[in-house]
Amino acid sequence: MANQKREKRKFIRLQVRRLTSIVKKSGTYMLLEEALKKNHTLLNVKDISTGGLRIESDYEVIKGTNFELTIPKIKKLDRAIVKCEVKRSEFQDGTCIYDIGLKFVPPNTDYLIELVECITSI
């Protein structure tokens, strides 16, 4: 039997291309211009479904903000770019982090169904 490498990370590595958005950090709002290139970012994914995902962040991201996430190749699932919209961004008392709900645009595609199956089987 071939050795299969199991994912042991708590975080999923994604590339994020930030679109123009407003964020809040330490009580100050900032306008972030669209980034032309993607940045590697570790996202702490708390929950995922074919409709969206819940992440944690040091930044408050304003509801309605859009992101493009580049999902790396996972098992037999090819790399892909998925679009997300922020539906919720709530400050968690005592942790100094924001709990952010992202909706996939569009949700429930064949790719997202396979992605959820891959991640939940790790």
* pLDDT value at residue 7: 42
The pLDDT-based confidence of 4 (bands split at 50, 70, 90) is very low
Task: Give residue-wise pLDDT tens across range 49-95.
Answer: 999 999 888 777 788 888 888 888 888 889 888 899 999 989 888 77
* pLDDT value at residue 106: 94
- Distance of alpha carbon 49 from alpha carbon 120, whole angstroms: 10
**Is the confidence at residue 29, as pLDDT, over 60?**
yes
Burial class (CB in 10 A: 0-12, 13-18, 19+), 112: buried
Q: What is the tally of helices (H) and strands (E) in the chain?
A: 1, 9
Structure tokens given for 118: 């891959």
Cis amide linkage into residue 72, ω under 30° from 0: no
44 - beta bridge partners?
56
The answer to whether domain 12-120 has CATH 2.60.40 is: no
Q: What is the mean pLDDT of residues 15-21?
A: 52
Residue among 4, 2, 9, 14 nearest 72 (CA): 14
Residue among 83, 92, 91, 85 nearest 24 (CA): 91
